């Protein structure tokens, strides 16, 4: 295929086909690696039986957890068939109702997604962070680079609810806090989105985040408003105003791409059947720390009592349950 001169006549088409080819090759290579591990374990087990050697049996047993984990990971990946699922992701976290508790909760979610991304082998960069007055964050924007990052993280979009005894309440009362998570495919290098300069309002302001004297004393932070849609993005992570503007444009491009796709999908679905809008208050998952411990996804009913593991980034069971549901698989919450 790559040797066909006609293919390279259209550089964009050729690039996409070669990327798709590489993804397929990696999937095939991953399955082959599993088969090789399985064959090695089988040989070790056969030797254990033939030679009556415990050492070979132990070698086979040690291989099983790794093989099972590899199979589970690839099974989950087979559910990622969306147009943008293979992309890296841009994730926004915004504190909602709940005051300081909500801002603290938003920072807990920020940590959770960083932990998940690092465990998955992805690269994480904080593009923007707006700290709360007392604790936590008002908002944050993450860039998570890695294959299929968006495919997994699109399952996290929505409102997340926390119930706990507030560490900020002098009377130790139970409080409920909300934070919203939004995920976008990082399409900066993949898709061209036409953004007219006349449609943009660009403001600069003094960064409030950490980063040294230069960041805190100059108007290096950038906020861009896309007037036709009302989308607002900002970045203050870099010392350079130029770099912050470039990063903010990257985030804007990703958000506009998803906005346009959702508009087109909504228009198509409106012709077929009415669709209930997902508003700010529609929580997708509850995290209860007191009076008992449980994390429950309200879309799939998948739940666990191991709250600590979830907050440390163990999100794959929830992601699998939601992706299975989207794919039309029955008993998604039980499978996960």
Q: In the prediction, which pLDDT does 153 show?
A: 95
3-state class (DSSP) for residue 227 = coil
Q: In the prediction, which pLDDT does 16 show?
A: 66
Task: Spell out a b/e string for 55-74, using b for 16 or more CB atoms within 10 Å of the CB, else e.
Answer: ebbebbeebeeebeebeeee
Q: In the prediction, which pLDDT does 133 show?
A: 86
From 86, 117, 89, 88, select the one nearest 24 (Cα to Cα). Answer: 86
Q: In the prediction, which pLDDT does 55 show?
A: 87
Answer whether 124's CB lies under 8 Å from 117's CB.
yes
Q: In the prediction, which pLDDT does 2 show?
A: 57
The single-letter DSSP state of residue 9 is: G
Distance CA 78, CA 129 (A): 34
Q: In the prediction, which pLDDT does 265 show?
A: 65
**Residue 178 CB neighbour total at 10 angstroms:** 20
Question: Which distant-in-sequence residues (6+ apart) come within 8 Å of 165 by Cβ?
Answer: 172, 173, 174, 175, 289, 290
**Residue 174 CB neighbour total at 10 angstroms:** 13
Q: What is the pLDDT along the chain (336 residues), one digit of tens a residue?
A: 555 666 666 666 676 676 667 666 767 877 888 888 888 888 888 888 888 888 888 888 888 888 888 887 777 777 887 778 888 999 999 998 888 999 999 999 999 999 999 999 999 999 889 898 889 999 999 999 998 899 999 999 999 999 999 998 878 888 999 999 999 888 755 556 778 888 899 988 877 654 444 445 567 889 999 999 889 998 887 788 888 888 888 888 888 888 887 777 666 545 443 333 334 456 899 999 988 999 999 999 999 999 999 999 999 999 999 998 887 765 444 444
Q: Which residue has the tokens 């397929």?
A: 24
Token pair listed for 314: 């163990």
Q: In the prediction, which pLDDT does 143 show?
A: 93
Token pair listed for 127: 């593009």
CA 129 vs. chain centroid, Å, equals 17
Q: In the prediction, which pLDDT does 196 show?
A: 86
Alpha helix (H) residue ranges in the chain: 11-51, 54-77, 99-119, 149-153, 213-217, 241-272, 307-311, 316-326, 332-335
Distance CA 192, CA 183 (A): 19
């Amino acid at each position: 295929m790559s040797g066909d001169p006609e293919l390279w006549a259209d550089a964009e088409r050729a690039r996409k086909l070669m990327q798709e080819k590489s993804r397929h090759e990696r999937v095939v290579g991953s399955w082959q690696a599993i088969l090789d591990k399985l064959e090695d374990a089988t040989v070790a087990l056969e030797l254990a039986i033939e030679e009556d050697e415990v050492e070979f049996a132990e070698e086979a047993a040690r291989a099983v957890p790794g093989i099972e984990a590899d199979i589970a990971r690839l099974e989950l990946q087979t559910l990622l068939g969306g147009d943008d699922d293979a992309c890296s992701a841009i994730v926004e976290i915004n504190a909602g109702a709940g005051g300081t508790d909500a801002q603290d909760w938003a920072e807990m979610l920020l940590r959770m997604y960083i932990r998940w991304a690092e465990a998955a082998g992805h690269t994480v960069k904080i593009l923007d962070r707006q700290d709360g007055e007392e604790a936590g964050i008002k908002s944050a924007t993450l860039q998570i680079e890695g294959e299929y990052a968006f495919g997994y993280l699109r399952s996290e979009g929505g409102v997340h609810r926390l119930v706990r005894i507030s560490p900020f309440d002098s009377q130790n009362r139970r409080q409920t806090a909300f934070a919203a998570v939004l995920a976008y495919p990082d399409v900066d290098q993949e898709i061209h989105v036409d953004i007219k300069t006349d449609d943009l309002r660009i403001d600069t302001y003094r960064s409030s985040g950490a980063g040294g004297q230069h960041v805190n004393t100059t108007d290096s932070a950038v906020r861009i408003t896309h007037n036709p849609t009302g989308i607002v993005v900002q970045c203050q992570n870099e010392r350079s105003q130029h770099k912050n503007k470039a990063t903010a444009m990257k985030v804007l491009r990703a958000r506009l791409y998803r906005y346009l796709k959702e508009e087109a999908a909504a228009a198509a679905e409106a012709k077929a059947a009415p669709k209930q809008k997902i508003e700010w208050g529609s929580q997708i998952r509850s995290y209860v720390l007191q009076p008992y411990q449980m994390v429950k996804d309200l879309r799939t009913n998948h739940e666990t009592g191991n709250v600590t593991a979830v907050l440390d980034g163990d999100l794959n069971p929830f992601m699998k349950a939601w992706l299975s549901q989207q794919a039309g698989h029955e008993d998604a919450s039980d499978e996960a």
